[in-house]
Amino acid sequence: MNRVHVRVVAGGEHYALPVTEVLEIAEIGHVTPVPGAPPGVLGVRNLRGQVVPVIDLARMLGLSADAENERIVVTEDDGRRAALAVTGTADVGELGAPTEEVDSPYLSGAVLVEGSLVGIVDVAALLAAVAPVEA
């Protein structure tokens, strides 16, 4: 099992996404709001000709979004693709197996890294909640 993760900051806290589910990291760019979109969906963004939903990771995790989102992390799982809006990225590296339990349906666990708790994002659960499966 690949333990390499992309660490990001959202809502002032650190989270990690498996690198195997990250397609790219980019500037947030222009996000067009979509009326009637599910809570947590900021809108859509054109990414090289493909329209991608942009999800506010902090809001999906129930955090206050004090800082402005500056980056998107484009993820994909089982035909679903979406961009997670985050405050910034921290690093890419190996993480140990989750050692802490979490209450969020969008996290698979958490691990201590240099004294700080890092939540492991369950990309499949997050995308299933807001992004439809492509035909």
Token code pair at residue 83: 């961009």
Q: Name residue 111's beta-bridge partners.
A: 118
Give residue limits of the domains in the chain.
4-130
Calculate the CA 81 to chain-centre distance: 11
pLDDT tens digits for 10-69?
A: 999 999 999 999 999 999 999 999 999 888 899 999 998 999 999 999 999 998 767 789
- pLDDT at residue 134 greater than cutoff 80: no
Sheet of 71-77: strand order equals: 22-27, 71-77, 80-86, 50-56, 41-47
Give the gyration radius of the chain's Cα atoms.
14
Which residue from 97, 79, 76, 71 is spatially nearest to 21, judged by alpha carbons? 76
Q: In the CATH hierarchy, which fold is given to the domain comprising 4-130?
A: OB fold (Dihydrolipoamide Acetyltransferase, E2P) (2.40.50)
